[in-house]
Structure 1
Amino acid sequence: MATDYDTPRKTDDEAGEDSIEELKARRNDKGGAIVDVDEADLAESLELPGADLSNEELSVQVIPKRADEFTCSRCFLVHHRSQLAKEDGNTYICTECA
Structure 2
Amino acid sequence: MATDYDAPRRNETDDMAEDSLEELKARRNEAQSAVVDVDESDTAESFELPGADLSGEELTVKVLPKQADEFTCSSCFLVIHRSRLAAHHNGQPVCRDCA
4+ residue runs of structure 1 moved beyond 6 angstroms? none
The corresponding residue for 1:17 is 15
TM-score norm. by structure 1 comes to 0.50
Quick one: which amino acid aligns to residue 74 of structure 1? S
Q: Distance in 1 between matches of 2:15 and 2:34?
A: 28
Q: Distance in 1 between matches of 2:88 and 2:44?
A: 47
TM-score norm. by structure 2 comes to 0.50
Give yes or no for the alignment of 1:86 onto 2:84.
no
Q: Distance in 2 between matches of 1:83 and 1:47?
A: 36
Per the TM alignment, residue 77 of structure 1 is displaced from its structure 2 partner at its CA by 0.8
Q: Which has the larger radius of gyration?
A: 2
Q: What secondary structure sits across from 2:71 in the alignment? A: strand
Identity %: 48
Q: Distance in 1 between matches of 2:60 and 2:4?
A: 58
Per the TM alignment, residue 7 of structure 1 is displaced from its structure 2 partner at its CA by 4.2
In structure 1, stretches of 5+ residues that fail to align are: none
Quick one: which amino acid aligns to residue 68 of structure 1? D
CA RMSD in angstroms, aligned pairs only: 4.1
Q: What secondary structure sits across from 1:26 in the alignment? A: helix
Quick one: which amino acid aligns to residue 48 of structure 1? S
Q: Distance in 2 between matches of 1:55 and 1:48?
A: 17
Aligned length: 86
